[in-house]
């Protein structure tokens, strides 16, 4: 994550806290609700899916946030000059980056069940499992993916805005 979305000397800390917080919240929530249990054959694949999805969204969100700030730096400077807090001046760029980084996840949700049957459901059906049980597991996985994507996108903008805005103000045009 540090190399995929370089944010200067704070790259590792921002990536670590973003991925750790978003993945940890979703993983612990799934354990608290009894969706997964403390057994390796459940924790390893679910943890891999959570962290992998969080990493993709983190990279997309920080890149889009950096581009939004760079493209609208004059507007941000004007808002700050008129007395707006920095977070408020960056709110439109932050919202745009979160929205853009959620597009692949939302597109995946729109096609599930209509265009394709996802992997876990197909595997369980081929193994002879009850179709309702297979679909319930798939729903849990889909909600997990949406939750971790949203949290990773929000946390990435929250944790990186000081670094990104600092770079935007110091970059020569």
The band of 169, judged by pLDDT with boundaries at 50, 70 and 90, is: low
Per-residue pLDDT at 134 exceeds 90:
no
pLDDT, tens digit, 9 for 90 and up, residues 79-107? 989 998 888 888 999 999 999 999 988 88
User: Using alpha carbons only, what angle is made at residue 46 by residues 13 and 159, rounded to the nearest 5 degrees?
Assistant: 20
* Of 146, 163, 1, 159, the residue nearest 66 (C-alpha): 163
DSSP per-residue string spanning 33-65: TTSS-SSHHHHHHHHHHHHHHHHHHHHHHHHHH
pLDDT in tens, 35-45: 888 898 888 98
Determine contact, residues 134/8, Cβ cutoff 8 Å: no
Q: Where are the domains of the chain?
A: 8-102+145-170
Q: Look up the pTM and report it.
A: 0.84
């Amino acid at each position: 994550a540090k190399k995929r979305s370089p944010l200067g000397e704070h790259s590792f800390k921002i990536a670590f806290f973003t991925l750790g917080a978003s993945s940890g919240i979703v993983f612990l929530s799934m354990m608290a609700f009894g969706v997964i249990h403390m057994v390796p054959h459940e924790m390893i694949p679910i943890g891999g899916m959570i962290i992998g999805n969080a990493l993709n969204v983190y990279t997309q969100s920080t890149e889009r946030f950096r581009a939004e700030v760079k493209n609208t730096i004059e507007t941000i400077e004007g808002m700050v000059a008129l007395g707006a807090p920095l977070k408020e001046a960056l709110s439109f760029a932050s919202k745009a980056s979160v929205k853009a980084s959620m597009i692949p996840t939302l597109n995946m949700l729109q096609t599930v069940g209509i265009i394709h049957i996802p992997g876990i459901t197909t595997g369980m059906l081929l193994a002879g499992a009850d179709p309702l049980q297979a679909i319930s597991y798939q729903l849990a996985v889909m909600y997990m993916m949406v939750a971790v994507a949203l949290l990773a996108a929000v946390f990435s903008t929250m944790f990186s805005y000081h670094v990104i805005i600092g770079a935007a103000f110091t970059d020569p045009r």
